[in-house]
Structure formats: C-alpha cells, structure tokens
C-alpha cells in the first residue's frame, strides 16, 4: 500500500508542486472534497486519473458554505482514513489546507451565481452556493487545473459550477461523475455516517421515491400530483420532513412543467434522524 506521493498543506506548497508538473507539460485535474472519503469520492479520483496527467485531491471542510445552524462543527473529519483510502488510487497529491491558508486575514471576496443557485438547495440553504462557487474557483485557479470533477449526487452543485466556469471563462473543463450508491440505492455520502442501525435502512426510501417518480412522470402523471405522491412516500418511509421534491430542466433547474419537451431531472431533499439527505435522477 502506498500513500499519495505528496501531501501539501499550504498554497505556496501547492503552487510549487503545480509549477513542477506544468514545467513537465503535464495536465492537472482536481477532485475537490470535504474529506470523510467514500467510494463515491474514489470513483471521481479514478475518472480524473483517466483524464489528467496529474490528479490532485483537495480536502477542506469549507466553513463559508455552511449555514449558522448546519453541521460544520460535527462534519466528519478523518485525515488518516482519507490518506489510507487514497493509497493505490491515481491521486498524485493531496492538498489539505487549513482555514487560514484558504481564508487569510482580510479575505473579502465572494462569487455569486444567479438564478440556478437560488432555487432548490439554494432556497433551503441561503448563501450555500456562494460559498461553494468561491472556494471552487479558488481551488481551480490555485491548482491551475485543466480539469475539475464533481459528482452528480450534488447535481445542482455541478450545474452551478458549470455555469460559473462558463460565465467567468475559467480555463478548465468541468467533468461530472455518476452517483455511486449503496446496495439498497442510497447515494453514498459522508453524512451517511450519522445514521444508526435503525435509521439507516429507512434512508433508502428517498431514492425509492425518486425512482417511482420518474416512472410516474414517464407514464404521464401530472407533475404536481407525482411530486406530492413522492413526498408522501418519503414521509411514509420514516423521514421527518421533506424540503423539496422537484421535476426540473436538467440544465437550468427551472421547474419543468411539460416533461419530455426538454431533458429533465428529478431532485429531492429530506431529513431523517437529524440528517439532511439529497438525491436526484435523470428523467
């Protein structure tokens, strides 16, 4: 077992490393994460290894994307486990900055993406995507990344980042990675660690409801009725509350009232055992 060749903890170290890669003519791919790595993250690392000459994984629990009542303090942190998980993957280096390296005294800039960031997750988590867009732009630019990859599990995040990269002419190709799931359909997620043995089996109810929703929509059930049915199904599975169930345009995430006219996506967010889960599927 081998750990990734380099662990860098500040941006100067990262810039020196990237300079040496670029001097050799290598392309650089970044896999941004918040750690507590699981098989979903590792699939992104594998995919990046097939696109870029050098693969960089970043691990940083970004405070600016968490709301005041969210789980920033409790978010799982496991550096030793993460480094072990990255052994024998295509990761060439891991960037693990601290808060001061990322947000030095006087840092006072934010990127705000428009309508696509305001709906769904943006409505439930005000300011969330400002924090995501700002840190992702900073990571891409610091790493001089030719490629950056994000999972479809956080589908709106992927759309927001694509939008930002296009609007700002960032010289990077944004890749999407398909959602990796547990055997019962639950999307792999760092927050799944919060479940106990009683709540964990119930969590699969979110994906089940979305699968049924895609069938209902394809069978021509009215969108409002189909979403209401899915919401009821999530609650019946044992979830305490549902933030949203939506049928949306796959690119803009605007509500899709006439499915079939454009590629669509079904998305939902709900709470179980104090854990906020999200999931989505193509329509």
Ligand X SMILES: Nc1ncnc2c1ncn2[C@@H]1O[C@H](COP(=O)(O)OP(=O)(O)OP(=O)(O)O)[C@@H](O)[C@H]1O
Ligand Y SMILES: CC(C)(CO)[C@@H](O)C(=O)[O-]
Which residues are part of the catalytic machinery?
41
Q: How far is the CB of 229 from ligand X (least distance, A)?
A: 25
Sole binder of ligand Y in the list 28, 34, 52, 277 (CB under 6 A):
34
Say how far apart CA 187 and CA 241 lie, in whole Å: 18
Residue 124: count other Cβ atoms within 10 Å of its Cβ: 14
Q: Is 97 in the site for ligand Y (CB under 6 A)?
A: no
User: Is 153 among the annotated ligand-binding positions?
Assistant: yes
| Least distance CB 90 / ligand X (angstroms) | 15
CB closer to ligand BAL, 18 vs 268? 268
What is the DSSP secondary-structure string of 142-206? HTT-SEEEEEGGGHHHHHHHHHHHHHTT-S-EEEEEPPPB-TTSPBP-GGGGG--TTTHHHHTHH
Binding track over 61-100 against ligand BAL, x by CB under 6 A = ----x-----------------------------------
Which listed range, 29-37, 89-97, 180-188, 244-252, lies at the site for ligand Y (CB under 6 A)?
29-37
The set of residues, in sequence order, having a beta carbon less than 8 Å from that of 141 and lying 6+ positions away, is 170
How far apart are the C-alpha atoms of 70 and 81, rounded to whole Å? 24
Look up residue 9 and give its two tokens: 């903890």
Closest CA to 8 of 96, 104, 100, 98: 96
Taking residues 144 to 183 in sequence order and writing x for each that binds ligand BAL by CB under 6 A, - otherwise, the string is: ----------x--x--------------------------
29 sits near ligand Y (criterion: CB under 6 A) = no
The residue (of 55 and 190) whose beta carbon lies closer to ligand X is 190
SS3 state at 232 = helix
Applying CB under 6 A, the residues found at the interface with ligand Y are 32-34, 62, 65, 132, 135-136, 154, 157
Q: Residue positions in the annotated binding site for (R)-pantoate?
A: 65, 157
């Amino acid at each position: 077992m081998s750990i990734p060749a380099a662990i860098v903890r500040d941006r100067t170290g990262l810039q020196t490393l990237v300079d040496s890669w670029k001097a050799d003519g290598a392309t650089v791919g970044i896999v941004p994460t918040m750690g507590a790595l699981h098989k979903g993250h590792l699939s992104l690392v594998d995919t990046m290894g097939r696109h870029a000459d050098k693969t960089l994984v970043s691990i940083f629990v970004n405070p600016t994307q968490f709301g005041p009542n969210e789980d920033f303090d409790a978010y799982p942190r496991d550096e030793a486990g993460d480094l072990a998980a990255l052994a024998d993957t295509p990761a060439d280096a891991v960037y693990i900055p601290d808060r001061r390296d990322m947000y030095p005294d006087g840092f006072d800039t934010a990127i705000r993406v428009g309508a696509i960031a305001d709906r769904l997750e943006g409505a439930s988590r005000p300011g969330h995507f400002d924090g995501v867009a700002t840190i992702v732009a900073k990571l891409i630019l610091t790493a001089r990344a030719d490629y950056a990859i994000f999972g479809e599990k956080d589908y709106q995040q992927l759309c927001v980042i694509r939008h930002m990269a296009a609007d700002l002419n960032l010289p990077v190709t944004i890749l999407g990675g398909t959602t990796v799931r547990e055997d019962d359909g639950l999307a792999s997620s760092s927050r799944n660690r919060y479940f106990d043995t009683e709540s964990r089996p119930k969590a699969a109810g979110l994906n089940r409801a979305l699968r049924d929703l895609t069938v209902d929509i394809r069978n021509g059930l009215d969108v409002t009725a189909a979403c209401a049915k899915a919401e009821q199904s999530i609650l019946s599975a044992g979830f305490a509350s549902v933030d949203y169930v939506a049928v949306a345009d796959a690119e803009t995430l605007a509500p899709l009232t006439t499915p079939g006219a454009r590629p669509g996506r079904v998305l939902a967010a709900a709470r179980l055992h104090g854990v906020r889960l999200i999931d989505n599927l193509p329509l």
